[in-house]
Amino acid sequence: MTRIRFLFLSFCLALSGAISAQGIDKSRLLEDIKYLASPKLEGRAPLTVGSQLAQEYIVARFKELGLVSQYRGFVQPFSVKERLPEKRTPFGANIVGFAPGSASDKIILVLAHYDHLGRKGNDLYLGADDNASGVGALLALAEYFSRERPAHSMMFAAVDAEEIGMLGSKALVGDFPFPLEQIALVVNMDMISRSVNNRLFAVGSRFYPQFKPALVAVQERFDIELVLGNEGEEGGQNWTNASDHAPFHREGVPFIYFGVEDHVDYHKPTDTFENIDPDFYFEAVSVILDFIKEVDSVAVQ
């Protein structure tokens, strides 16, 4: 082997190791949320052109990452007739990717809803924090675990129609491709890209205390304040049924839900990419990644 070739290969190996150790790619994370919250997608309301564009984008990213799926073309269609009966093609779409694990038959399911409110009159509700932020995080986590094979299998589900009754997550529970007992944990992310007090809430350890040690371990590693609560404790808020983890919780499937408190732009046209906090968002996603890695380090058989 020539010295030049040796140096080139050494450089490639070093670069590969650096990329592997990076964790979350911040620039790609911001690129994803910026596109999903762009005016081109018009707020991603179910059964709209913007929703279809979001679906195509997520499918393309899953394919790019080499994920597989138990659903044809990564798409699980479901009826939304109960809430939108006037639509001619009343089918929402969950986008589901899968990365097989190396040491367990259990599954960690990562959830985020990609729909938002769409157009109302002359106003566009683009939903950057709610919930392009969760989907951007889901894509970042899928990218990491497509590169670093987990012990548990990982399923990544971008679900539709949360804003009109969690129809996508209900459909996923009703047509899950494995027995629900195989789900070791549902990680749901809904609004994680901004906080006025640097707080990210983790909800669920009151009901599933087996995950509290992993959450406590992660609390010590980041500047962000990871707060355990909002589970209906006395004097506190109750987010137990606030998002797409709820249909799984009702079936006894363990969950941890990550989110922030409502802010001044919640469900307003001002929930835009320009109003997220990129540094908080990156750290929030890094916290969630570390938590999943902690859970994954104990392969539950």
Upper half-sphere CA count for residue 149 (Cβ side, 13 Å): 6
pLDDT at 5 over 90: no
Helices and strands, counts by H and E, the chain: 8, 10
pLDDT for 299 equals 58
pLDDT at 186 over 90: yes
Closest residue by Cα to residue 58 from 32, 39, 76: 32
Distance CA 61, CA 191 (A): 21
Give me the mean pLDDT over the 169-180 stretch: 98
Q: Specify the range with the lowest mean pLDDT, choosing from 76-90, 93-107, 257-271.
A: 76-90
- What confidence tens digit (pLDDT) does each residue in 132-168 have? 999 999 999 999 999 999 999 999 999 999 999 999 9
CATH of 23-296, one of 3.40.630.10, 2.40.70.10, 1.10.10.60, 3.40.50.970: 3.40.630.10
pLDDT at 13 over 70: no
pLDDT for 233 equals 85
pLDDT at 38 over 50: yes
pLDDT for 15 equals 41
- What confidence tens digit (pLDDT) does each residue in 217-264 have? 999 999 999 999 999 887 789 999 999 999 999 999 999 999 999 999
Looking at 81-151, list the stretches that DSSP marks H as alpha helix, in order from N- to C-terminal side. 133-147
Taking the whole predicted model, whether its pTM rises above 0.85 is answered as yes
Upper half-sphere CA count for residue 273 (Cβ side, 13 Å): 17
Instruction: Give residues with Cβ within 8 angstroms of 104, minimum separation 6.
Output: 151, 152, 153, 184, 299, 300, 301
pLDDT for 89 equals 63
Distance CA 226, CA 216 (A): 9
Domain ranges (residues) in the chain: 23-296
CA–CA distance from 197 to each of 63, 267, 268, 289 (Å)? 37, 20, 20, 21
pLDDT for 22 equals 66
pLDDT for 201 equals 98
Q: Residue 88: pLDDT band by 50, 70, 90 thresholds?
A: low
